[in-house]
Amino acid sequence: MARLVLKFGGTSVGDIERIKNVARKVKQEVDAGHQVAVVVSAMSGVTNQLVDYCRSISKLHDAREYDAVVASGEQVTSGLLAIALQDLGIPARSWQGWQIPIITDDTHAKARIQRIDTTEVAKRMDETGEVAVVAGFQGVSERARIATLGRGGSDTSAVALAAALNAERCDIYTDVDGVYTTDPRIVSKARKIPRITYEEMLEMASQGAKVLQTRSVEMAMKHRVRVQVLSTFEQAPGSDYPGTLVVDEDEIVEQELVSGIAYSRDEAKVTLVGVEDRPGVAARIFGPLTDAAINVDMIVQNVSEDGKTTDMTFTVGKADLDRTVQVLEKAKGELNFRRLISDANVSKVSVIGVGMRSHAGVAQRMFKALADRGINIQVISTSEIKVSVLVAEEYTELALRALHTAYGLDAA
C-alpha cells in the first residue's frame, strides 16, 4: 500500500463522460489498496472563458478578483469528481485551496505555495480511506483571499501536495503518454523516454517542452517527489510505469548522452549595435528590462574590434519584444548605442542530457549536424547539461530531425 497523488489536466476532465472515466482510473488505484489524493484542473476551455471575462471588463483588472473568478473552474471539477467517485462506491470529498489550506504568498495570479497543512486531509485518508479531491491551481493567501498559481499551476499543486503528504509518487495524467525525446508531431522517429532526471526534465520544460510546468519540476526536484507523466486516454500496457518517470539520477541505470531535444518558437532576438565597450554596460542595458519585468534569456557580447564599441545580442520572449524595443529606445540617450535590430523569426533549439557532464564533444556534434544542413547558428548558450542555439525559425523542423538522428535518438 502506498500513498499516491494523481493529477488530471483540463482535457482529462473536459466533459462529464471524461470525469466519469477519471473516477474509474482513481478507483483502480483505490482497489489496488492505495491511499489516493487527486488534483484536478478546470474543464478544458473554462479557464480561458473566465480569463476572457476578466479581460473584457478591464485590461487592468485586480489580480485578487481575477483569482476569485478563475479559481472557480477547479472548484467545479473537484466537486464533480467527488460525486463521480461516490457514485462508484468510493468515499471521496472535494477540498478547495482555502479548506485544506494551501497557503500561498499574495502575488496574485502567479502566487507561490508557502505551505500545505495536510493534517486534516491525511487524517481522513488514514482513518476512512476517503479520496481527497483537491482543486488544483489555487490556494489561499495569509489574508484569506483566493490566490491562483499561474497557468499550468495544477501540476505544481499536485507535486506540492505529494511532497506534503509524503506520497510515494505523483502521477500527472495528461493527453500524451509520456515525455518524448522530441516533439513527435515534428519528428516521427521520436521515442518515449522511460525515465528522465529532474535536471533534464527541468531543462526540457524551460526550453519549450510543454508537458510539465517548469515550476512543478523545480518543486519535484527540491522535494525529491517521484513524478510520472502518463496518458489519461490510453490503457496502461501492463507495465508498472506506462509513462515517463521523472526521478533522481540514481534511479536511472543506463544514461544516454543526450536525453531529449527541445525547441521554442517563443523567442525573439534583439541586437544593440555599437554599444560602448566599458565596465557596467551590461548592467545599464539589462537594468531597465528587469525593471519592466522582461526576462532576458540568451546573451552574447561580441569581442570589441576597435576597443571602444561592441555589439550586444540577447533574446526575450516574443510577447515581450515590442515592450523591450520601447524600453531600450527610451533609454537610447543613456545607453548610447548606434542602432537596435530586432528579429522575431527565430527558434531556440536545445539538446539536453546529464550525460554531457562527463562527455566532451556534445556541442561539437550539434554544430556539425546543423552545419551539414546549412543551418546558420545565430546565438549559442550552454549550461552544464544543455546546449541551446538560436536559428532562423524556418529551420526549426529540419534542425530537430538532424539533431535527433545525430545523437542516436531515432526509434528503430
Q: Please report the DSSP string for 253-313 in residue order.
A: SS--S--EEEEES-EEEEEEEEEE-STTHHHHHHHHHHHTTPPEEEEEEPPPSSSSEEEEE
Element (H, E) at 200: helix 198-206
CA–CA gap between residue 327 and residue 320 (Å, rounded)? 11
- 277 annotated as a binding-site residue: no
Interacting residues with a second copy between 8 and 67 (CB under 8 A): 16, 19-20, 50, 53-54, 56-58, 60-62, 64-67
Give yes or no for residue 72 binding a second copy (CB under 8 A).
yes
Q: How far is the CB of 72 from a second copy (least distance, A)?
A: 4
Q: Between 124 and 163, how does the x/- string for binding to a second copy read (CB under 8 A)?
A: --------------------xxx-----------------
- C-alpha distances (whole Å) from 230 to each of 9, 170, 211, 219 are 11, 11, 10, 19
- 183 annotated as a binding-site residue: no
User: Which segment (76-84, 169-177, 179-187, 194-202) binds a second copy by CB under 8 A?
Assistant: 76-84
| Inter-axis angle of helices 63-70 and 46-57, nearest 10 | 150
User: Which segment (78-86, 276-284, 356-364, 395-403) binds a second copy by CB under 8 A?
Assistant: 78-86
Report how far Cα 24 is from the mean position of its chain's Cα atoms.
27
What contacts 145, CB < 8 A, 6 or more positions away? 64, 67, 68, 106, 108
- 77 annotated as a binding-site residue: no
- CB closer to a second copy out of 75 and 342: 75
Q: Which three cell numbers stand for residue 84?
A: 463521480
- CB closer to a second copy out of 67 and 177: 67
Q: Between 199 and 228, how does the x/- string for binding to a second copy read (CB under 8 A)?
A: ------------------------------
| Residue selected from 8, 98, 137, 180 as contacting a second copy according to rule CB under 8 A | 98
Contact between 141 and 109 (Cβ < 8 Å): no
| Residue selected from 51, 83, 344, 398 as contacting a second copy according to rule CB under 8 A | 83
- 89 annotated as a binding-site residue: no
Q: Is 384 exposed, middle or buried (0-12, 13-18, 19+ CB in 10 A)?
A: exposed
Q: Is 80 exposed, middle or buried (0-12, 13-18, 19+ CB in 10 A)?
A: buried
Q: How far is the CB of 86 from a second copy (least distance, A)?
A: 6
- CB closer to a second copy out of 50 and 257: 50
Residue 169 has phi, psi (to 5 degrees) of: -165, 155
- CB closer to a second copy out of 98 and 180: 98
- 185 annotated as a binding-site residue: yes
- CB closer to a second copy out of 18 and 226: 18
How, if at all, do strands 379-383 and 386-392 pair?
A: antiparallel
Centre a 10 Å sphere on the Cβ of residue 204 and count the other Cβ atoms it contains: 29
How, if at all, do strands 169-174 and 227-231 pair?
A: parallel
Residue bearing cell 551590461: 282
User: Which segment (88-96, 201-209, 213-221, 354-362) binds a second copy by CB under 8 A?
Assistant: 88-96
Give yes or no for residue 249 binding a second copy (CB under 8 A).
no
Annotated binding site, which residues?
7-10, 47, 74, 174-175, 180, 185, 210-211
Q: Which residues bind a second copy (CB under 8 A)?
A: 16, 19-20, 50, 53-54, 56-58, 60-62, 64-69, 71-73, 75-76, 78-80, 82-84, 86-87, 93-94, 96, 98-99, 144-146
Annotated binding site for substrate, which residues?
47, 74
